[in-house]
Amino acid sequence: MTGTTVTVCMSCGPAQGELVATLATAFRAAHLPITVRGTECMSGCSRSPTLAVRAPGKTAYLFGDVSGADLPDLLIFARMYLSSPDGNFADARPLGALRTKAIARIPG
């Protein structure tokens, strides 16, 4: 798999399918080249729903407690992530509340 992928955990409730569809539609509408998919348990049950963002050679991120209300911040994150050569940001303040939903940052 190449490119940037957002993976949403589908194990902890029915709303995750809606989140996958909402994110895919929003990224397409914003002309962001990101694939959105669902997967089985990502072991983030206490912070459900969780989603991971990753791209080859870049830092990966795991977020929890994500909802459709986070869509504006997720779009900002996606633009910053795509423009960053290594997936890291000098200043995460533009991410708003999404900063507090980060569970992990995994080096690329």
Count the Cβ atoms, other than its own, within 10 Å of residue 42. Answer: 21
Q: What does the pLDDT look like over 59-104, one tens digit per residue? A: 999 999 998 899 999 999 999 999 999 999 999 999 999 999 999 9
Q: What does the pLDDT look like over 40-71, one tens digit per residue? A: 999 988 999 999 999 999 999 999 999 889 99
Query: CA 58, 44, 42, 69 torsion: positive or negative?
Result: negative
Tokens 């914003």, residue? Answer: 30
Whether residue 101 contacts residue 73, with contact meaning beta carbons closer than 8 Å, is answered with no
Length of the chain: 108
Residues 6+ apart with CB under 8 A from 72: 96
In sequence order, the β-bridge partners of residue 34 are 4
Structure tokens at 39: 């997967």
In order of their start, the domains of the chain are 4-106 (3.40.30.10)
pTM for the full predicted model? 0.92
